[in-house]
């Protein structure tokens, strides 16, 4: 693999498809026809939902119970109101989950704690529950990107993208010589410091590509500007800014 040229890198991001097609298929078809798509969405976003519900309830057992109910409802197609014209998928999902929690609490006559109020403005990114949702979503995006990078290495002979980036992430202050030595031990063959630096650069570019693809999956308009804004809101932009072409967000599709 060679380093991506700026225009090639930028064009890959510009062309990223969104997951709205899956969302719409999950809820726009018959229950039988959209079952696979609904299962896909649940598997992909259940960790973020679980963490968010736990942050709201502050009760592990109640969080498990409510999260399972949310998953069942999603599998049944209860998120049929998802519409790309109404905003980001993560915002729509957040509101849906909040409403499900509120309804379940009402049915179960569960008292709200003093410091948690689901009537808070869902668009207020400064309240605690919204911060918890953003953090959960960011962690899930990162987890998915790491998983895909690991799969990329496994399916591309000679790639060390996952290994070297994981080594660097685990010890960000190690020198190129130390990084090369650790990589050599892991892959069982010698790696020079200059080779380690080059492989690390390639791995970071690949990871940035995967990260942006994950973010693009859940927004309705994938212009570079829109992607950059979403990355910034998720506090992911600074992680990859130095490998992005300087003009990557200067033009829309």
Positive or negative: CA dihedral 154, 197, 239, 55? positive
Tens digits of residue pLDDT in 110-126? 554 433 444 443 444 45
What's the whole-number average pLDDT of the chain?
75
Q: What percent of the chain has pLDDT over 90?
A: 30
CA separation for the pair 217, 221 (Å, rounded): 10
Average pLDDT estimate for 149-161: 95
- Entry field: residues in the chain: 253
Alpha carbon dihedral 240, 45, 50, 229, in 10-degree steps, equals: 40
Taking the C-alpha atoms of residue 202 and residue 144, their distance in angstroms, rounded to an integer, is 19
What tens digit of pLDDT does each residue of 173-187 get? 999 999 999 999 999
- Residue 160 has a CB neighbour count (10 Å cut-off) of 21
pLDDT value for 94? 82
For the chain, domain boundaries: 6-16+134-243, 20-119
User: What does the pLDDT average to over 67-91?
Assistant: 69
Helix then strand then coil, % of the chain, to nearest 5? 70, 0, 30
Which of 88-102, 128-142, 204-218, 225-239 bottoms out in mean pLDDT, i.e. has the lowest? 88-102
- Higher-confidence residue: 2 or 98? 98
CA distance 38 to 25: 8
d(CA 122, CA 43): 24
- Identify whether the C-beta of residue 90 lies closer than 8 Å to the C-beta of residue 31: no
Pick the CATH number of 20-119 from 1.10.1740, 2.40.10, 1.10.287, 2.40.30: 1.10.1740
């Amino acid at each position: 693999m060679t380093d991506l040229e700026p225009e090639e890198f930028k064009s890959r991001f510009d062309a990223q498809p969104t997951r709205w097609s899956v969302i719409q298929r999950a809820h726009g078809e018959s229950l039988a026809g959209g079952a696979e798509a609904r299962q896909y969405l649940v598997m992909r976003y259940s960790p973020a939902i679980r963490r968010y519900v736990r942050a709201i309830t502050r009760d592990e057992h109640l969080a498990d119970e409510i999260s399972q109910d949310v998953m069942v409802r999603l599998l049944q197609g209860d998120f049929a109101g998802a519409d790309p014209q109404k905003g980001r998928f993560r915002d729509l999902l957040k509101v849906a989950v909040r409403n499900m929690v509120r309804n379940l609490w009402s049915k179960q006559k569960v008292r709200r704690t003093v410091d948690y109020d689901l009537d808070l403005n869902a668009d207020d990114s400064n309240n605690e529950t919204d911060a918890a949702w953003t953090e959960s979503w960011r962690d899930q995006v990162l987890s998915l990107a790491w998983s895909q990078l690991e799969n990329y290495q496994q399916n591309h002979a000679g790639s060390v993208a996952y290994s070297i980036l994981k080594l660097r992430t685990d010890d960000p202050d190690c020198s190129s010589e130390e990084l090369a030595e650790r990589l050599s031990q892991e892959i069982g063959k010698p790696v020079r410091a200059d080779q380690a630096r080059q492989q690390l650069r390639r791995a970071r570019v690949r990871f940035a590509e995967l990260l942006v693809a994950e973010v693009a999956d859940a927004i309705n308009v994938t212009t570079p500007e829109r992607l950059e804004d979403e990355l910034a809101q998720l506090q992911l932009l600074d992680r990859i800014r130095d490998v992005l072409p300087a003009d990557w967000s200067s033009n829309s599709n």
